[in-house]
């Protein structure tokens, strides 16, 4: 699938841990359609090094996302039990205790495959059985901004050593919501409070002449 922008976000139902420790079966992003925007992000593994810095950074800014009517949801190929254990481990011990947004378990790796962030693919063995995995069976750091209609409007995929910017994610939410409200497009490095521009040649010329 590669680029999902402009397409409906792939559907799934999976186990998840919510509110820092509650198990949920058949968790789905469908619950947000018509109600909330979604920032759905993948990370490689629980109990690693870069991953908790990202997850805790999202938690730190969770109020900012909620003010914008955005649900934040994380996902990795770990089990729900691994998620639960990590969520109940103190931060000083490498855990993420205090994180309240949902963490989805993609134990089958099908969600990662459908969002095209799995770091490898299944291949055929010498008996022509599809049972050999070529690559690393974890997810890249993919992030998808999904609108209230369930359509992906922004995506970014980082290699595993490269942590993402939560502030940039908030900026993209602001840009999308500004466009939806005003119909003006947001130029490079746009931030709330700055000028946007009309989506026309004259609008671009007017913007460029004033900057």
Radius of gyration of the chain (CA): 19
CATH number for the domain formed by residue range(s) 14-163: 3.40.30.10
Burial 152-174 (b: 16+ CB within 10 A, else e): bbbbebbebeeebebeebbbbbb
51 is catalytic: yes
The Cβ of residue 53 has, within 10 Å, a number of other Cβ atoms equal to 12
Per-residue pLDDT of the chain (211 residues), as tens digits, is 589 999 999 999 999 999 999 999 999 999 999 999 999 999 999 999 999 999 999 999 999 999 999 999 999 999 999 999 999 999 999 999 999 999 999 999 999 999 999 997 776 666 666 566 677 789 999 999 999 999 999 999 999 999 999 999 999 999 999 999 988 787 888 888 888 777 754 544 454 455 5
Set 4, 16, 51, 170: catalytic member: 51
Where along the chain do its domains lie? 14-163, 165-211
Q: How far apart are CA 124 and CA 122, in angstroms?
A: 7
- DSSP letter string over 74-100? EEESS-HHHHHHHHTS-GGGT--TT--
Number of Cβ atoms within 10 Å of the Cβ of 191: 12
pTM exceeding 0.85 = yes
Tokens of 165: 């910017």
List b or e across 100-128, with b for residues whose CB sees 16 or more CB atoms inside 10 angstroms: ebbbbbbbebebbbbbbbbeeeeeeeeee
């Amino acid at each position: 699938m590669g680029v999902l922008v402009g397409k409906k976000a792939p559907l799934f139902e999976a186990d998840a841990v919510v509110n820092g420790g509650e198990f949920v079966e058949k968790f789905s992003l469908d619950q947000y359609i018509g109600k909330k925007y979604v920032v759905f992000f993948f990370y490689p593994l629980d109990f690693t090094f870069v991953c908790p810095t990202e997850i805790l950074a999202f938690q730190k800014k969770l109020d900012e996302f909620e003010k914008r009517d955005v649900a934040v949801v994380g996902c990795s190929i770990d089990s729900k039990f691994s998620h639960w254990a990590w969520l109940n481990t103190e931060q000083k011990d490498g855990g993420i205790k205090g994180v309240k947004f949902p963490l989805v378990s993609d134990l089958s790796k099908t969600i990662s495959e459908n969002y095209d962030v799995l770091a490898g693919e299944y291949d055929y063995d010498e008996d022509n059985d599809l049972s050999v995995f070529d690559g690393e069976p974890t997810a890249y750091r993919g992030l998808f901004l999904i609108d209230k209609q369930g359509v992906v409007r922004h995506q970014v995929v980082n290699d595993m050593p490269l942590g993402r910017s939560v502030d940039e994610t908030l900026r993209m939410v602001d840009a999308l919501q500004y466009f939806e409200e005003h119909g003006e497009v947001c130029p490079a490095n746009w931030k709330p409070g700055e000028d946007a521009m009309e989506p026309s040649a004259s609008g671009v010329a007017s913007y460029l002449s004033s900057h």
